[in-house]
Structure 1
Amino acid sequence: MNPHNITLIAGPPGVGKTAWISQLLQDKTRPMFYLCPGMGEVSVDLARMGYQFPWVSLLSEDQAPRVLANLPDQAQVYLEVGFHLNLETPFFTTLPCHRVAVLPPSLEQSEWHHWADDVIPGNDIGVPDLGQSQQLPELWRSLLTGQVLDPPSLDEILIELTGGAYGQIMRLKGIFELPDGRAFYVDFVEGLSGIEYGDLNLPPWRQGRPNRFSGLEVIGYNLERDIIAKTLLEACLAEDVLAQYQEQYQMLHPQGKDTEEVISP
């Protein structure tokens, strides 16, 4: 393995690791690979990378050893390391790679500084003490594939979540399906202004339940997981309501042309 072909990216939650990697993945001139260790095969970041950069190969952890051992000469691999993973595990310490830490500019010393070959300035956010004496933030995920959410209810849930109604939220990211067939991405970082919404530019799904990944990931403290899950479920459209939305859309747009009109069941 050539260490110049593999880049390991680490840093605190919300600092901008995914955003930094996304800039590099726009290069279509060479084979690109992306792996998010420790998140399994279904995660918001993994799905978002696949949706936004279809030319990038998404690696599972099972595939990684074989692919990394047989990389094409011009290939580039980006491994995004979650805050909850130990950088001293054998896989990370023995992997020939270039180590990059994306860190807040105001953070002058940390374990990431000592670990990294290069430090990249990211979002200037507050960083909790992640040492042994401090409890790590919780990571909670909810798979929503096949679910379509009521937009006003989803807006209310996101405002409540980020406002601390169900625990202290440091980081929230999600992919959600809307009744008009669109899928969009939501991003929130404690300490930065507002909730970011982004269209994923996927083909509209307007017949039956979407058969593509959607879900929510939350990082924080004292998360009321059961209440969050129940509230999310209540915002999901029932079969008959979703069918009404899709039927009305087909009646209003028989040729499948998009407009900004709002359809209500």
Structure 2
Amino acid sequence: MASSNITLVAGSPGAGKTTWISQFLTDQSQDLFYLCPGMGRDSVDLVRIGYRFPWVSVIPENQAQTVLAGLPRQAQVYLELGFHLDLASPLLATLPCQRVAVLPPSLNQSEWHDWADEVIPGNDIQDAGRDPLPELWRSPLTGQVFDPPSLDELLIELTGGAYGKVMRLKGIFEMPDGRAFHIDFVQGLPGIEYTELNLPRWLQGRPNRFSGLEVVGHHLEQETISKTLLASCLADDVLAQYQHQYQRLHPDEETKEVFSI
């Protein structure tokens, strides 16, 4: 492991940690590894990295110690640390690594500044500190397909403060035409970003690939958000009608097995 290059990347929610890491994952000639500890299997960032960069080895958390102990020479490893993780964790303290903090330029002093070897200026978001620590709420959505207008309305309400103060929102959502989208919102930045994922259209029943939502904020009405999410999903008969229509429009499309952890 001593000959490998390990970079720990920490910082406030929405500052741009995943974006900063992604610029280093484009070189297919390198042995590249990515790990998002503390998020388990159902991490939006973990899955999206796997979709965008299929040549990157995405490390399952339960295999992290084994993989890190047997890295190939000159491997490049990026560990993205959630804002909720303890920077003084014994595991993090013993890793031979470079520590990078991606932080808003307006945040002049923090625990991340004291921890990092290098501070990278990221998105200039507000309320970027850890006091009080915001909530992290996650909802698995695998198998659910959304009515697009209902989903748009929900996301506008959610990011507008209807169900608590949302600082950060990201998710992967399935649409009735078989496409999947990554949706991203950062408080203080304009709009909600929709990015289509480069995946085969899923037009045969309910999708058996990851989708889910992660929300960071304060005073989140979690039960209400969950109920409103489900109300925006399509019932089996409606989904079947949509898929039948799109199958006729896209007869050559096939559902394929894609990234899994």
TM-score category, normalised to shorter length = over 0.9
Which deviates more, 107-116 or 91-100?
107-116
Is the partner of 2:9 in helix, strand or coil? strand
2:31, 2:3 → 1: CA distance? 16
Q: Distance in 2 between matches of 1:114 and 1:250?
A: 55
Structure 2 match to 1:46: 46
Does the C-alpha gap of structure 1 residues 191 and 74 become closer, same or farther in structure 2, counting only changes over 3 Å? same
Query: Is the partner of 2:183 in helix, strand or coil?
Result: strand
Which structure 1 segments of 5+ residues have no match? 258-265
CA deviation profile, 1:52-111 (whole Å, cap 9, x unmatched): 111111112221111111110121110000000110010111111110011111222211
Question: How far is 1:127 from its partner?
Answer: 3.3
**Structure 2 counterpart of 1:163:** 160
Partner of 2:75: 75
1:206 maps to what in 2? 203
Which residue does 1:153 correspond to in 2? 150
- What percent of counterpart residues are identical? 71
TM-score of the two chains, using structure 2 as the length reference: 0.94
2:219 to 195, 219, 222: 222
Rounded Cα–Cα distance in structure 2 between residues aligned with 1:3 and 1:123: 33
The offset of 1:4, in angstroms, is 5.5
In the alignment, the residues of structure 2 paired with residue 80 and residue 203 of structure 1 have an alpha-carbon distance, to the nearest angstrom, of 28
Superposed counterparts of 1:27-66, under 5 Å:
27-66=27-66
Instruction: Kindly report structure 1 stretches of 4+ aligned residues shifted beyond 6 Å.
Output: none
- What is the aligned partner in structure 1 of residue 112 from structure 2? 112
Counterpart CA distance in 2 for 1:113 and 1:42 is 29
8 Å CA contact retained: 1:179, 1:246: yes
Distance 1:253 1:230 in 2: 33
Q: Structure 1 CA distance, aligned partners of 2:192 and 2:3?
A: 37
Name the CA distance, whole Å, in 2 between partners of 1:249 and 1:100.
45
Partner of 1:244: 241
Q: Which residue of 2 is the match for residue 10 of structure 1?
A: 10
Number of residue pairs matched by the alignment: 254
- Specify which of 136, 139, 148 is matched with residue 139 of structure 1: 136
Residues in 1 aligned to 2:214 and 2:199: alpha-carbon distance in whole angstroms = 20
Which amino acid counterpart does residue 227 of structure 1 have in structure 2?
T
Contact 1:2/1:97 (<8 A) preserved: no
Provide the residue aligned with 2:25 in structure 1. 25
2:61 alignment partner, SS class = coil
Distance 1:2 1:124 in 2: 35
**How many Å separate the matches in 2 of 1:27 and 1:7?**
16
| Per-residue Cα deviation, 1:221-247 (whole angstroms, up to 9, x for no partner) | 000000000000011111110000011
